[in-house]
Amino acid sequence: MSAEAADPGAPLRRRSRPRIDLRRLGRVALRGPVSRDRLPDAISHVAEAHRAHHPDADLTILRRAYVLAESSHRGQMRKSGEPYITHPLAVTLILAELGAETTTLTASLLHDTVEDTEVTLEQVKEQFGDEVCYLVDGVTKLEKVDYGAAAEPETFRKMLVATGNDVRVMSIKLADRLHNMRTLGVMRPEKQARIAKVTRDVLIPLAERLGVQALKTELEDLVFAILHPEEYEETRALIAAATGPDDPLETIADNVTHTLRDAGISAEVLIRPRHFVSVHRVRRKRGELRGTDFGRLLVLVGEDADCYAVLGELHTCFTPVISEFKDFIAAPKFNLYQSLHTAVVGPEGAVAEVLIRTHRMHKVAEAGVVALGNPYAQDPAAPPQTEPSDERADPTRPGWLSRLLDWQESATDPDTFWTTLRDDLAQDREITVFRTDGGTLGLPAGASCVDAAYAQYGDLAHTAIGARVNGRLATLSTVLSDGDTVQPLLAQDTASGPSPDWLDHARTPAARIAITGWFSDHPDEAKPDPETADATGPGTRGEPAAATEREAPARSRSGPRPTGVVVDDPNAQVRLAGCCTPVPPDELTGFVVRGGAVTVHRRECPAVAAMQEIGRVPVVARWEDGEGRESDAGCRVTLVAESFGRPRLLADLTEAIATADAAIVSATVEPPSEQRVRHTYTLRLPDAAGLPGLMRAMRDVAGVYDVSRAQHPAPTG
């Protein structure tokens, strides 16, 4: 296999073992004369390709798998007219060329037996073992008779769950789809288009994420030819016209070869033609193509250090295009890809893109997870397991796959799963952000603090009020960059819920499904209410600027009625407005909001005038008897401060409280947990109007990341 142009006539600029052209595999001998000590002639190509990567492989199991596959498929024909056995043979040859190990090849030979013949999973397990049975089951489609229109999405869900335990399942599926796409011409045009769209939306992104570039690039070209035939033919004509003896890349490749030889660096310099889709993308980006745009130089070396030595020589002896430099060796892509990318100016101003990598990096770049072999093979040096484990921990499982497996459990509806899967796979880059406890989170590029909160805390993130990014306060809408350190900040009110605006900032399916699910359970909160928007100021609930004057019970969307407040309707749910934090003896007024709840404000709150201007009718609200009797001595309030531990923190907090003219009635400081400290203060203020300023002053103390009203009164002294 190769990720070169998907044109059978495209020249390969390297000498190596002749490769099998799978497009011309055609009919194969079904079963020639076979002795017990050798393989059937029909899979001799598979054996040859397999032994090229695994010289010591035992081919006995392949012979048995082929005999079972051929006998069970005998008499079945493909729509192209070929015997059906040509399909599993072609799929197996694709994987053998990529370097797949024997277990994968065995399962690929058998991958359609359970689905299309009388062979059962029990028979596969009995004859070939648990692993082969697991792989065959993973790629077996669900019956339309049982699932109807949901059969396709539920089949992909089943495959993805199986892939979460063994990535070889998806390797077989990708090879299976590649051979089917190669032979798709016998299908009706509308069916070709439907299969090509699913391949484009699901299989190609999966191939990219698993790093199997050899499959991904050819799938892209095949989809391109079906869905965009005119542009495909234009691109084919451009590539054909550019093929000739005066290839400017040849001249630059010779110069690079001589330069590296003179520097004493052992390297192989190849010309790597671009595939059709890549040429098409370059054409759309630049308009008119240059002679060097039809390919790139590939420099293969032995060691990682040699990659940087090559880079140094190229940037010394040629004029580099600095903007084109990327180091994917020091920072590999999320799909295992490693390489140095640069561009240099050759003779007569020709610019050539150059890829520099080791031979091992090249193998992984082409074959991705397929090149990693069996992730479950026992290390001879490792101690034997004393107890069998039901968990199949796959060391090759990437972070995006773990996230996918998490959110798919919440997407129980097939249509939701199918739509969300396509949206998730459309995120073609991934970033890594760090948690404050030293752990990491893998997120798609463009993810925000909302995504980080749900990735770290799950449904607890419903109570998020903001975040710290690289030590600084940030809104939940802040977009994260690769390498950022993020700490989502949660409120103490466990009954509070997300803001509808969060859906505008959520990029991960897990966050979107969780937020949507919360609003499904709380339909009255599905849309932002004008009263709530005015009450909380210009920001959303995820913005610290708006959160500074909120107190936790006021943000509870479904909690109990605050004790001590009476409105005209004794059955109405009552909550205190976060914009003005009313406390006794404040004079109160309220407004009915969505769902029949009453939000209570101080009468002088600006939100009251705003609500009256838009025609909202005030509701009479007052403190219960006795609640306002502290007016002569001010008001009492209990605040909870969450902070990071540091020297002099307690002194600075008490100074901020004293500066705000508040008296400390009692205080408790809980023992630090994970470098975090929780302080609870019962305070007496001369006037309730000073409460927002007091809370702001406490939040301004270095190390404090949240201050809120306590949900339960603290003991008074």
C-alpha triplet 305, 310, 316: angle, nearest 5°: 130
Note if 126 is an active site residue. Answer: no
Task: Look at residue 561 and give its three-state secondary structure.
Answer: coil
User: Which residues, at least 6 apart from 62, have a Cβ–Cβ distance to it below 8 Å?
Assistant: 39, 43, 46, 47, 50, 102, 105, 106, 109
CA gap 40, 52 in Å, rounded: 18
Note if 116 is an active site residue. Answer: yes
Taking the CB of residue 417, how many other CB atoms lie within 10 A of it? Answer: 23
Burial class, 551, CB count within 10 angstroms (exposed 0-12 / middle 13-18 / buried 19+) = buried
The one-character DSSP state at 525 is G
CA gap 330, 449 in Å, rounded: 26
**Is 711 within 8 Å of 576 (Cβ atoms)?**
no
Task: Please report, for residues 475, 557, 579, 637, 697, the alpha-carbon distance to residue 526 in angstroms, rounded to integers and kept in the order given.
Answer: 21, 11, 21, 32, 33
Dihedral sign for Cα 497, 501, 507, 512, please: positive
**Is 582 within 8 Å of 601 (Cβ atoms)?**
yes
C-alpha triplet 153, 154, 160: angle, nearest 5°: 90
591: left (phi over 0), alpha (psi -120 to 50) or beta: beta
CA gap 176, 42 in Å, rounded: 18
For residue 189, give the H/E element and its range.
Answer: helix 189-198
- What token pair was written down for 572? 């109405």
- What token pair was written down for 353? 């893109």
**Is 667 within 8 Å of 679 (Cβ atoms)?**
yes
CA gap 690, 661 in Å, rounded: 9
CA gap 151, 602 in Å, rounded: 57
**Is 280 within 8 Å of 294 (Cβ atoms)?**
no
SS3 breakdown of the chain: % helix, strand, coil, rounded to 5?
45, 15, 35
707 CB-side CA count, 13 A:
26
Q: Which of 115, 587, 655, 700 is labelled catalytic?
A: 115
Q: Which of 82, 116, 137, 231 is labelled catalytic?
A: 116
Tell me the catalytic residues.
115-116
